[in-house]
Every structure is written in structure tokens, then in C-alpha cells.
Amino acid sequence: MSDDTFEPEILAFCCHYCAYAAADLAGSMRLDYPSSIKVVELPCTGKLDARYALRAFEDGADGIMVAG
């Protein structure tokens, strides 16, 4: 039996100047995206330490996204 209500928890690591600005603009325009996506602002995606990504999975995230 499949569970059609599963919605994965995604942690999105976003660059301040690129992807985070786009996510902020989407919010300003009242565009909808799933509430299961949590956005984390980084000064630069190059600053993402692998430990942060692994910790996201340890804390229950189903997936991560790195956007720059």
C-alpha cells in the first residue's frame, strides 16, 4: 500500500546574492512553494561545509538542495 501523502522535508542551502534573493522575490510575489522546503541563507554556496549537509540528514531531512 502506497502513502500518497508523503511530502519530503527538503533543506535548501541558498547563496545570499543569487538563490536566496530569488526565494525572497518569490515570497514577495506571493508565489507558493511547499511548506516542507526550508531555506537556509549562506553568504556563498562555497561556504557550505559538508558537515552541515550531513547534519541535515541526521536531523531528519529527506533531501538537501544547494543553490547558487
Decide if 17 is inside a domain.
yes
pLDDT at residue 64 is higher than 60? yes
Examine residue 37 and state whether it is found in any structural domain, yes or no.
yes
Q: What is the pLDDT at residue 65? A: 94
Q: Is 67 exposed, middle or buried (0-12, 13-18, 19+ CB in 10 A)?
A: middle
Q: Is residue 47 part of a domain?
A: yes
Residue 1 pLDDT > 70? no
Q: Rounded to whole angstroms, how far apart are CA atoms 58 and 43?
A: 23
Summarised one tens digit per residue, pLDDT across range 23-47 is: 888 888 888 888 899 999 999 988 8
- Whether residue 14 lies inside any domain: the answer is yes
Q: Residue 57 sits in which domain range?
A: 10-67
Asked if residue 5 is part of any domain, the answer here is no
Per-residue model confidence (pLDDT) at position 9: 96
pLDDT tens digits for 5-21?
889 999 999 998 888 88
Domains in the chain, number: 1
Helix, strand, coil content of the chain in percent (nearest 5): 30, 25, 45
